[in-house]
Structure 1
Amino acid sequence: MTMPQQFALDRRLHAFRPDLADARLRGKVEAERFAEGKPMRVALPVVDLREAPRVDSGPQTQLLLGDEVRVFEEADGWCWVQAVRDGYVGYASDFSIENPRGAPTHMVCVPRTFVYPGPDLRFPHTRALSLGSRIAITGEAETRGTRYSILESGEAIIARHVRPVGEHADDYVAVAETLLHTPYLWGGASGFGIDCSGLVQLSMLMTGRNVLRDTDMQAATIGTIVEPDADYGNLRRGDLVFWKGHVAIMADDGTLIHANGHTMSVTFEPLRGAIERIAYLYDYPTVIRRPD
């Protein structure tokens, strides 16, 4: 992925502070000391990545179980990290990050699923996982005709709810459509709550494509620009419609799907209706991009 110049030293994507910086930025930024970053992995189902090391600092994005991070500092209950997948920098609670063990073998491929203490859906579940979570599977079992995949911990998950890492969905729009009615959550990036650019990123992740997190980043880096007709009649499924601070996915030539604060959910909406509704409060679309 080519990084546009406007993000060359964007603090969302580069770990540097006056006292500490990523060693890869030596010679580009000034800091009292530099650190290589310790490879670690997310240990909880969903982890908020915050702008500051405080619980009242709202999440800028979220990390999912199994996501790889580089840890530059551990102090006062917080880790200062950079996500390997999209480069996002922020603070995560120290108990949510662990040393990597075996590499994940499978990825959750449904919006949400439960983990059980053993291979039986009648057992009380131990946790819930989001689409895109990465886990290590060590075996299989069957109970009353239902197939389970067995985790390293001995816990079990419905086998058809995971697929091997490296096996990808074909259509990112179809993935987004599985998240219909998921609650809108500012900074959300999971099947439990998601925002507009999180929907784009998570859906594309499931097709094997890593894209940047925020709308301004996506508007500058995904695919190629499409010049819309006066009536937007030349748009097609998969095109991305960007406003300042918002993005929606074309589900067909006249309908979009997006996570939005208007309905507080992932929903379908007629393109023309969305354009006029958003223009009334904010402005018209700024750019249309067609993923490669």
Structure 2
Amino acid sequence: MTASTQTAEPRTDRRLTPATQNVALESLRGVLNRPVYTAGRPARLQVALADLCREPGGARDRQVNHGAELTVIEERDGWSFVQAVADGYCGWLRDNALGSAVQPVTHRVSAPATHVYPQPSIKTTELGGLSIGARLSVVAWQDGFAQLAQGGWVPRQHLSDQPASDPASVAETLIGTPYLWGGNSRWGIDCSGLAQASLTACAIACPGDSDMQQAAFPVVEGEIRRNDLLFWPGHVAIALDATRMIHATAWTMSVVIEPIAAAITRIDAAGQGPFLGARRPPAGADAVFP
């Protein structure tokens, strides 16, 4: 790390800027003025789920799932400021949530959620749970279970080493999941978290928040199709077809299917509109999997 001589300070999106007030990634030298620059340290999330907070102990912006690849930029008082490799999202999380990225990731959790067992048997007491999208290193197979380098055994039926093919179908497996602001898991999810989880399961790169998602994909010209993303100010849904959509909504505090026309009317009536139109993600995989 070396001291900075840069003085300019352009406006940046804090969610995607790998810099604190003290330290910035080396790639920002000459762009942001910071006392210290760093190449960053690679790490991998070793807990089931972690909040990405705006500051140490602060409000949650988003979450990252088990096995997420991260770049550590600053460490301070038991907290680490990190950037997620998959989508560039930045935030603070607890140091003890981090582990080393030693074993290659081989599979993802493809079920809405799964249990981790101490032995390859459903009759043993589970060690904990993992959500859809968790990235795992499988080292052996026995009796219908995958042995994890991270420790424990997971049912084979809940894992995949190949991406899903239909984001809307992935989203439908999460119907009934409770709404959680900034949530990215089966335990709680918000509108943009549902869109990201569904697209990511199909190896389609997707940003973390709805405004980023709206900016990332081309505008739909013509009729809405399955897997189009539908946008309102601060909200996103996934089209199931030309007339129905699925979304995580505070209206029901859950993931639900709703007619598109009814949602437009309801959201307008609540003063949360207008409908901003549809965007179309790519139809095929464009990101690394698993």
Q: TM-score, normalised by structure 1?
A: 0.90
Q: Aligned to 1:235, which of 200, 217, 224?
A: 224
Cα gap change, 1:109 to 1:8, in 2 (>3 Å): farther
How far has the Cα of 1:8 moved from its partner? 8.3
1:199 maps to what in 2? 194
1:220 maps to what in 2? 215
Measured in 1, the distance between the counterparts of 2:113 and 2:142 equals: 21
Measured in 2, the distance between the counterparts of 1:152 and 1:246 equals: 38
How far has the Cα of 1:152 moved from its partner? 2.1
How far has the Cα of 1:157 moved from its partner? 0.8
1:104 equivalent in alignment to 2:105: yes
Matches within 5 A, 1:1-292: 9-54=12-57, 57-142=58-143, 147-152=144-149, 155-164=152-161, 167-222=162-217, 224-227=218-221, 234-281=223-270, 282-292=272-282
Deviations 1:47-89 (A, max 9, x none): 01000101xx221110111101000111111001000010001
Does the 8 Å contact 1:39/1:100 carry over to 2?
yes
Measured in 1, the distance between the counterparts of 2:11 and 2:22 equals: 20
How far has the Cα of 1:287 moved from its partner? 2.8
How far has the Cα of 1:212 moved from its partner? 0.7
SS at match of 1:107: strand
Does the 8 Å contact 1:53/1:92 carry over to 2?
yes
2:285 maps to what in 1? none
Q: TM-score, normalised by structure 2?
A: 0.91
Deviations 1:255-292 (A, max 9, x none): 11000000000000111111011011211211311222
Cα gap change, 1:250 to 1:38, in 2 (>3 Å): same
Deviations 1:101-122 (A, max 9, x none): 2111111100000000001101
Cα gap change, 1:219 to 1:117, in 2 (>3 Å): same
Measured in 2, the distance between the counterparts of 1:238 and 1:136 equals: 30
SS at match of 1:157: strand
How far has the Cα of 1:180 moved from its partner? 0.7
How far has the Cα of 1:99 moved from its partner? 1.8
Measured in 1, the distance between the counterparts of 2:18 and 2:120 equals: 42
SS at match of 1:53: coil
Higher mean alpha-carbon deviation, 87-96 vs 19-28, is at 19-28
Paired residue type of 1:241: L
2:4 maps to what in 1? none
Measured in 1, the distance between the counterparts of 2:208 and 2:11 equals: 15
How far has the Cα of 1:227 moved from its partner? 4.3
Structure 1: 5+ residue stretches without partners: 1-6, 229-233
Runs of 4+ with deviation above 4 angstroms = none
How far has the Cα of 1:33 moved from its partner? 1.0
SS at match of 2:20: coil
Cα gap change, 1:268 to 1:18, in 2 (>3 Å): same
Measured in 2, the distance between the counterparts of 1:210 and 1:43 equals: 22
Measured in 2, the distance between the counterparts of 1:24 and 1:155 equals: 38
Measured in 1, the distance between the counterparts of 2:102 and 2:248 equals: 35
